[in-house]
Structure 1
């Protein structure tokens, strides 16, 4: 089942033909699709050491090529600061065989994709996340600033999207409580200097092995943003005690910490209803994250003040 109305078709046969035609040095490698909960790219493993990534949604090829080039630059920059392995760009492919967009080849990383619950109680994993966030925040912004209106900028910019999410989530989620939380979240001031952030630290972008963080995927969004943005990892993957440990180690004050919850909330609200049928794993992640937010003692008290929950 397609996840998006404008989703493109790409299968192993097309991917294999594109590899043979455009990169004959890898033409004899096995090409097989990797099943993931990812929503942006179809991913194929190429031999033992590479992956091919094909954008899933229809777009202007010129715009996509520029975006993929920008992402490659961001990935190389992330690799210079990330304390664990992260994929590096290898090549960019052209449209062909019915697939209409540019695509990329990257290095393959070993490890298992993280899950929302598996390491939720792990002190060691929480500390690994602390080390990751510290390393990313220490990177030089080089005078750059947040660009765009999505996650990592002004919370108010998400009002229209959140209204759609509340409407679509009626009957799926406790919308009255969630509206009350968003009313509080959107009023949090952004008083922090921008830092370099990964921008999408969901479980699917983290690799683990033997309970440790060993890899970070999807580094094309490495860019300056609200330092609270990468705190979404705590809400997506840790229980209350481990979140408290992470907050303490990072020295997060109230505003920074709750803005991190706000970004996790904004992300999770879009996952539950949008991917309910087409990508149950992503929908379940949204459910898990929202439950953690709603069950947090401070945030639970706020959401319970909604007239619809009295």
Structure 2
């Protein structure tokens, strides 16, 4: 998926687990099929998950990021009734793999890409509860870090220009360009920033019986525009349940439109970048853009 991607063979993972965590030598190791783009995922026994970063980088920088992820996971763990991963250990480079890696608890459930919950009103209620639970976490005086989604929409102009240029043969670029011209002008509003999960896409959401069963990839938890987690409304829900989510969260027009804009920013990058390397992610981006455009008839 990436030019600098690191290979993570099963034999390497088995060797790393056995050498660095002897107490797990007797546990089976199994690669987990995933459309994720950041980590290769392996299950260790019934209760553990090993995550191996896929993009090559300095080992010290990777370790710092994994430590930040673990800190975020600990901050969220137990703050909502929906299960989230708990950090267990950090592994070191070895056996030909050049980066540190992490181990966390396994959270059962089917990813929303495999078991679509978008028409479930119950799932919409669950999702609203999770977002409210995350928003209730004390920011402890922290502010948006200025990187990634969650700050000013106009800061994403260069990236959006790249996405529009790369999408000429894939999407209705003139219409999407008009839509971005409107979205990028949405003001920040007077509401305070809150804690956000930061990446509520189908691959990070677990379902069981059309209800929310858990949430993964919690390392991006942090302070940002309170509208950021509303990306889930367009990534995960059809029109009826989407309206239920809005009513449950009490979103005004500005907050709702900014949530739609953040979903737009994320989806635009998925379609062209993963067209060949990760078709599931590319299709997700298309589906989200279709919902956004259907909710923006004047574009």
- TM-score (norm. length: structure 2): 0.98
1:116, distance to aligned residue in structure 2 (A) = 8.4
Q: 1:13-28 alignment to 2 at 5 Å?
A: 13-28=11-26
Equivalent residue for 2:154?
A: 156
Contact 1:151 1:229 in 2 (8 A): yes
* Structure 1 position 185 matched with structure 2 position 209: no
* Structure 1 position 279 matched with structure 2 position 278: yes
Q: 1:168-183 alignment to 2 at 5 Å?
A: 168-183=166-181
Contact 1:11 1:33 in 2 (8 A): no
1:148, distance to aligned residue in structure 2 (A) = 2.5
Contact 1:120 1:237 in 2 (8 A): yes
Distance 2:86 2:54 in 1: 20
- Deviation string for 1:102-121 (max 9, x for gaps)? 00011011110013882221
Distance 1:52 1:82 in 2: 23
Q: 1:1-310 alignment to 2 at 5 Å?
A: 3-115=1-113, 118-191=116-189, 192-296=191-295, 299-301=296-298, 303=299
1:76, distance to aligned residue in structure 2 (A) = 0.5
Contact 1:88 1:106 in 2 (8 A): yes
- Deviation string for 1:263-298 (max 9, x for gaps)? 0000000000000000000001000000001111xx
Distance 1:82 1:146 in 2: 22
Contact 1:116 1:238 in 2 (8 A): no
1:79, distance to aligned residue in structure 2 (A) = 1.0
Equivalent residue for 1:307?
A: none
1:233, distance to aligned residue in structure 2 (A) = 0.5
1:157, distance to aligned residue in structure 2 (A) = 1.2
Q: Structure 1: state its 5+ residue gaps.
A: 304-310
1:249, distance to aligned residue in structure 2 (A) = 1.5
1:188, distance to aligned residue in structure 2 (A) = 0.5
1:83, distance to aligned residue in structure 2 (A) = 2.6
Q: Structure 2: state its 5+ residue gaps.
A: none
Distance 1:17 1:116, change over 3 A: closer
Distance 2:17 2:76 in 1: 27
1:149, distance to aligned residue in structure 2 (A) = 2.8
Distance 1:252 1:116, change over 3 A: farther
Distance 1:116 1:250 in 2: 26
Contact 1:115 1:237 in 2 (8 A): no
1:300, distance to aligned residue in structure 2 (A) = 1.8
- TM-score (norm. length: structure 1): 0.94
Contact 1:95 1:101 in 2 (8 A): yes
Distance 2:55 2:151 in 1: 24
